Amino acid sequence: MFEGFKLTRCEGNGARLQVRHGGGGPPVLLLHGHPRTHATWHRVAPLLAAAGHTVVCPDLRGYGESDKPPSDPEHRPYSKRAMADDCLAVMRRLGHERFAVVGHDRGAYVATRLALDHPHAVSALSVLDAVPLGEALHRCDARFAARWWHWFFLGQTDKPAERLIDADPDAWYGGTPGQMGAEAYEDYRRAIHDPATVHAMCEDYRAGLGVDREHDDTDRRAGRRIRCPLQVLWATRDDMADLYGDVLDVWRDWAGDRLDGGPIASGHHIAEEAPAELVTLVRGFWQAAGAHA
């Protein structure tokens, strides 16, 4: 897994992240979702490296083997802004001042925040299976709540979800070696069987219902947009189109001059299920947009 890549720990912005990086050429930052680790990219990263890119895959703050700093009553240490600042610091420490970003699921919210807060650093943004976090909550209805009930289960604090999840993490999170790859699956299982990681992942969702929404709503009121070319991809065997209809239309008020994207034949975990098509689409987008990557 990740042949030719280095596995290191790198200082972020208040948290030390485990980082896998390799290849050479224009840099690309890959950000995983919940409850995965950086290993979810193990089929994508070598393809990008072989195509002439430097690829950086961290475990996000709180996930995998990265640090899990203490939280606070507002869950700010697990805000997407804090996670994005970690990622920017890691990229700079690795010598990359400007780079493309691909984010999936919760990693898509981190990627979006990175592009909004640090537009000088992000040359192109690809988000997978996501709309802006604040947008999702603003549009939340009974159908969304029924399908995405886990947001509210993980995000509430009156009866913390950790106790139930820790009783049987494999049953709660699922996943198989066949789907994920044997080594990636073992990396993932180590993470979900660590109560500190489970707690941190719940803090991610708690931040999502509060401080992250505040940040998105503030940007929306200010008319702040993503300045770099933006690509949005969603899995055909997921529920993005069912929930939002025209997914790109949800992003129009957030995008700058360049917005592209469409469906990709896959289940939710696109990097594991359709890696070659994903790489083809993101590289084609970078080339068409004239992006740094």
Catalytic residue among 86, 105, 216, 238: 105
In 3-state terms, what secondary structure has residue 20? strand
Distance CA 196, CA 79 (A): 17
- Cβ contact 201:62 at 8 Å: yes
In our burial notation (b when 16+ CB lie closer than 10 A, e otherwise), range 80-97 reads bbbbbbbbbbbbeebebe
The CA angle 251-41-198, to the nearest 5 degrees, is 85
Residue 216 catalytic?
no
Distance CA 15, CA 83 (A): 9
Residue 168 catalytic?
no
Catalytic residue among 117, 239, 268, 292: 268
- Cβ contact 35:55 at 8 Å: no
| Phi, psi dihedrals of residue 225, rounded to the nearest 5° | -125, 165
Direct distance between the N- and C-terminal alpha carbons of the chain, in angstroms, rounded to an integer: 24
**What distances in angstroms separate CA 201 from CA 33, 191, 194, 204, 233, one per listed residue?**
10, 10, 11, 5, 24
Concatenate the DSSP letters of all residues of 1-14 into one string: --TT-EEEEEE-SS
Concatenate the DSSP letters of all residues of 176-236 into one string: -HHHH-HHHHHHHHHHHT-HHHHHHHHHHHHHHHTHHHHHHHHHHHHT--B-S-EEEEEET
**What distances in angstroms separate CA 113 from CA 9, 55, 163, 179, one per listed residue?**
23, 20, 30, 29
Catalytic residues: 105, 268
